[in-house]
Amino acid sequence: MPDHARLRYKWVIALQRMNAPEKAEQAYREAIELAPENVDFLYCICTLNIQKGQYEEALPHVRKLVEQDPTNKSFSDGVERITNESNTRR
């Protein structure tokens, strides 16, 4: 039900503005379960993971973004950057 997912997305934005990143991350995951191919949700959870230094968690999301839009250079560059960052932190 995409409308329900969109409402969840708006709730996530509110949670982020209220500086509640853990609750926002959980709400993003729920939104992705409702609409797994939604580029906005994938991009936002990926961004949130990166902000939290969770590069390995971000990688599958950015790879899925590349699958959905292989011509988007920022998505493909994101895979490389996240992979490099993840490798440096090991």
Summarised one tens digit per residue, pLDDT across range 14-32 is: 988 898 888 888 888 888 8
Cα–Cα nearest to 58, from 30, 34, 28: 28
Residue 1: predicted pLDDT:
41
- Structurally, the chain folds into a number of domains equal to 1
Residue 81: predicted pLDDT:
86
Residues in the chain, pLDDT under 50: 1-2
Domain of 69, CATH number, reads 1.25.40.10
Q: Which domain holds residue 10?
A: 2-88
Exposed/middle/buried for residue 61 (C-beta within 10 Å: 0-12, 13-18, 19+)? buried
